Amino acid sequence: MRETPEQEMIVVIDDDYAIRLSCQKILTKAGFQVETFEDGSQGLEGVARLKPSLVVVDLKMPGISGMEVIARVHEIVPQAIIVVITGYATIGTAVEAMKVGAYDFLPKPFSPDELRVIVNRGLERRRLALESERSEVERALLKRRFITFVSHQLQTPLVAVHQCLDVLKQLGGAEGTEAKRQEWINRCLSRTEEMLAIIKDWLALAKVEADSLSRRRVSVDLRRVVSDILRAYEEMAGRESITLEARLPEEPCLVKGDRTCMGVLFDNLIVNAIKYNKAGGKVTVSAEEVDGEVVAAVTDTGIGIAEKHRPFLFEEFYRIKDESGKRTTGTGLGLPICKKIVTELGGKIEVESELEAGSTFRVRLPASREQEEADSSGSLE
Amino acid sequence: MTGDMKIPRVLVIDDDVDFRASVKSLLESQGYEVREADSAKQGLRELVEQKPDVILLDVMMESDVEGYAVNQAIKYQEEYEKYRNIPIIMVSSIELSPDERFAMASELDMIRPDFYLTKPLDMSKMLELLQRALKR
């Protein structure tokens, strides 16, 4: 909703007193602020001072010509709309005026309604122009932010690797430095892995974006997607003594989507639930159909997510800094990918969490009525 | 370092653990005493404890006001008054022209725009700048 707009300022420049007076009356009554001037040079001074949204100019005036006024007004306030009043409504002069930047023309004599209509139309045009300019600027900013972020995210580990290699170089082959060398090599390896993970996620995100329109949607049984992934992570969970549990119904849980995307979605959610769990914890994945929707939930018994972080979880590159001050893990792209996939398929993803108790990520997708297609392209790559 | 020359103390404030560790290792091999801090808060704590001769300050830490916060605290808070003369070397991974460096220094309220190092650090440049900072 737009806030109550300020009264828009309109400047009228005409040497005819009667025209100035009637314009003033009509436009003030229509809710505008109006200032009138009797010649071009005073008018331009007024424009510079008042920065009006719209200027009404008589083409035939003594002194500076109307044509010149039009050009000069746009130098002073490029976004102002100019309406031209012509005594002799010849198409020729009107076209001439519009060539130098006037928005429209009003032949004398004109009715109050004609003036109001043309002014309102002009102002609406200005609003649209301003809005589209603003969204252009916003888009450009967003893009720049994304690029800065990506380069920062990649540059940071790369700088670290470079630094570690410098240390290795300096250690050289000196005796007794074997353990140290190993330590620095390990630092390099872990940072390059970090970089690879970021690039992999970034590409996945771009792929979801690029493919979403062209991809064929089929009926996918979430039960199979989920149990395949759980099986793949049994070992990883086992290392931290985390139990994985699937609560899946007897009948199929069909959604209209894409097998690869569904795999990526639940892969991300389940890995997070394991990674941010406590040793000896539990991950529960459930799915059921409720009122034409398939609702799937991934619940962990981990550290939970503080309320202040929750609104930003699905934003690109948002990462929560470990309270203990350790390095932040993860690429900051996993959940944005999940959100993108769910949104593309017309669904919703939401999070509930309690600190020190755990989190639940819940996905809602439109249920499919068609049978699952028999195909074997269920790979996650 | 020979004779009665004091061992110069450097405080590295940076949120990247590997970066800090590498600077520490590289500088220690050159005879410096190095302490690390991963945030503005910890940096100010170390400042009081270590009383460094020079500070290497990452000005683009993840929460992007941290570098600024360190400088501001030292400059304007009374409890850090006695550390006001410690030279601060800005560190960032952004390559800047002298003009841009000047603009950045004034934006961050830093005193010496020429005390600026780009990541990854060039060892000889870093040592030269440290020497210059220590001479003041």
Cross-chain residue pair A152–B22, CB shorter than 8 Å: no
Residue B95 belongs to a domain: yes
- The verdict on a CB contact (< 8 Å) between A167 and B123 is no
Spell out which residues of chain A touch residue B38, defining contact as CB-CB under 8 Å. 325
Closest Cα in chain A, distance from residue B25 (Å): 7
Residue A379 C-alpha, separation from nearest chain B C-alpha, in angstroms: 36
Is B1 inside any structural domain? no
Q: Is residue B4 domain-resident?
A: no
Single pTM value for the model? 0.55
What are the residue ranges of helices labelled H in chain A? 17-29, 40-50, 66-76, 91-99, 112-171, 178-211, 222-232, 234-239, 259-275, 334-344
Q: How many domains does chain B have?
A: 1
Region of A107 on the Ramachandran plot (φ > 0 left; ψ -120 to 50 alpha; else beta): beta
| A 255-274 residues inside an 8 A Cβ radius of B | none
The whole-number pLDDT of residue A147 equals 65
User: How many percent of chain B have pLDDT more than 90?
Assistant: 57
Kindly indicate the confidence band of residue B103, based on its pLDDT and cuts at 50, 70 and 90.
Answer: confident
Of A32-36, A112-116, A163-167, the one with minimum mean pLDDT is A112-116
Q: Residue B31 domain-assigned?
A: yes
Choose, out of A156, A158, A171, A189, the residue to mutate when testing the contact with B (most B CBs < 10 Å). A156
CA dihedral A365, A368, A373, A377 (to 10 degrees): -10
- Spatial CB neighbours of B122, under 8 Å, sequence gap ≥ 6: none
Mean per-residue pLDDT for A18-45?
Answer: 93
Q: Note the pLDDT of residue B111.
A: 77
SS3 state of residue A35:
strand
Å from B24 to nearest chain A CA? 10
Q: What is the pLDDT of residues B68-87, one digit of tens each?
A: 888 888 988 899 999 999 99
pLDDT at residue B9 tops 60: yes
Angle at A329 between CA A327 and CA A334, to 5 degrees: 155
DSSP A2: P
CA distance A304 to A250: 31
Q: Is the pLDDT of residue A42 over 70?
A: yes
Domain containing residue B103: CATH number? 3.40.50.2300
- As a whole number, mean pLDDT of residues A109-127 equals 90
Question: Where does the pLDDT of residue B108 fall: very low under 50, low under 70, confident under 90, or very high at 90 and above?
Answer: confident
Is B120 in contact with A166 (Cβ distance < 8 A)? Answer: yes
- Smallest Cβ–Cβ distance between B18 and the set A155, A187, A321 belongs to A187
**Predicted confidence (pLDDT) per residue in A307-325, tens digit:** 888 878 887 767 776 555 4
Please check the confidence at residue A379 and state whether its pLDDT lies above 50. no
Nearest CA in chain A to B119: A159
Write the ipTM. 0.86
Structural domain range at position B122: 9-135
Contact A35, A12 (CB under 8 A): yes
Q: Is residue B101 part of a domain?
A: yes
Q: Which residues on chain B place their C-beta less than 8 Å from a C-beta of chain A?
A: 16-19, 21-23, 25-26, 29, 38-39, 42, 60, 62-63, 93, 119-121, 123
Residue A173, chain B, CB below 8 Å: the answer is no
Q: Which of A267, A265, A259, A264 is nearest to A378 (CA)?
A: A259
Determine, yes or no, domain membership for B69.
yes
Give the mean pLDDT of A205-218.
Answer: 70
Please report whether residue B49 resides in a domain: yes
Facing B18 at nearest CB: one of A160, A325, A328: A160
| pLDDT attached to residue A215 | 64
Domain membership flag for residue B117? yes
Q: Which of residues B114 and A139 earns the better pLDDT score?
A: B114
Contact B16 A170 (CB under 8 A): no
The two three-digit tokens of residue A163, written as one number: 């630094």
Which residues of chain B make contact with A159, given a CB cutoff of 8 A? 16, 19, 93, 119-120
Residue A142 pLDDT greater than 70, yes or no: no
Asked if the model's pLDDT at residue B33 lies above 50, the reply is yes
Mean confidence (pLDDT) of chain A: 85
How far apart, in whole angstroms, are the C-alpha atoms of residue A336 and residue A317?
8
Residue A160 forms contact with B (CB below 8 Å): yes
Query: Comparing A87-96, A244-253, B52-61, B85-94, which segment has the lowest mean pLDDT?
Result: A87-96
pLDDT at A327: 47
Residue A191: per-residue pLDDT: 92
CA dist., res. A224 & res. A330, Å (int) = 27
